[in-house]
Amino acid sequence: MPRAVNPKALSARDVTGEFDVLKQPMPPLPITYTRARIGIHCSTAGGVEKAVERAYRLGCNAMQIFSSSPRMWRASSPAISQCVEFCRLAHQYDVDPVVIHTSYLVNMCSKTPEFLEKSVAAFRGEVQRALALSAKYLVLHPGSFSGGTREEGLQCAVDSIERAVDGIDLAGKNFKILIENTAGAEYSLGGSFEQVAELLRRLRKVVPVAACIDTCHTHVAGYDVVSAAGFEDTMQQIEKTINLENVPVWHCNDAKAARGSKLDRHANIGQGTIGIETFRRLINDPRTKDATFIAETPVDVPGDDRMNVEALKGVVA
């Protein structure tokens, strides 16, 4: 897998029953929004269109989903009627942008030929489903180059993405593939801003591309996002490498692990080693005024998802 995944957090986002906002009382109407586009990763249980209803009930004006199971190679595409209803609800509720996260199985720089071919085919399906759902962004963890060199991994990722989109018309679609920074594990691509920037440079000749920056990944990779001076230095490093205008989506996750630990474990907003002030600085920074902020936080008890959305909305000035 491209990165370490917290199975508890992942399964909690997917379950129905007491954790599902659709099984809970409707929130007071009208639902209020902030000037910022704030969303959360929503379950598609019961049909992809149900995810939009979940986002709305959680008070989101943006959202992220998996377009298929993140644990299975064989993906089923939503029916045309479901895609139409998904897009209708997103327009009705002003949920924009829609972000899709690629399956965690996909590794576009695998050194195992069979695994790489499965990844290329799976990523092609991800792009096709994203277009069918009128998603603006498809987030990709570039992968692990274990068994090779970083240069081989970089080039393999570019070549694999090019093969995956061969014959798909992406011109004029208002759609971009977003390369997400990673937690900095030894063989993973994207653990530094320089690596993300290099991938973007090579991919621009192939696909419409930009970046997604994850606060937890940034923190555990070793960047200081907690102190005011460190936050500013980190933002300047992003500007010099990736360019902040090329970061339309931020994954807003607090961290359970320490800075520099390389451990990708998400925590509730304001309850981890990052703290609430970092998110206040990020969302109110003039350089991120046009960005979207998506939480990928654990749901350990019913209401955690709403709590995290409200925490992000609560810091908006």
Instruction: Tell me which residues are annotated as active site.
Output: 71, 101, 104, 141, 180, 214, 217, 251, 264, 266, 296
Judge contact between 278 and 226, C-beta under 8 A. yes
Half-sphere exposure of 64 (CA within 13 A, CB side): 28
Q: Which residues of 56-83 are buried (b: 16+ CB within 10 A; e: fewer)?
A: bbbbbbbbbbbbbebeeeebeebeeebb
Q: Which residues of 116-133 are buried (b: 16+ CB within 10 A; e: fewer)?
A: bebbbebbbbbbbbbbbb
Q: Strands 266-267 and 254-255: what pairing? A: antiparallel
State the SS3 of 187-230: CECCCCHHHHHHHHHHHCCCCCEEEEEEHHHHHHCCCCCCCHHH
Shortest CA distance to 66 belongs to which of 87, 85, 83, 45? 45
* Rg, C-alpha atoms of the chain: 18
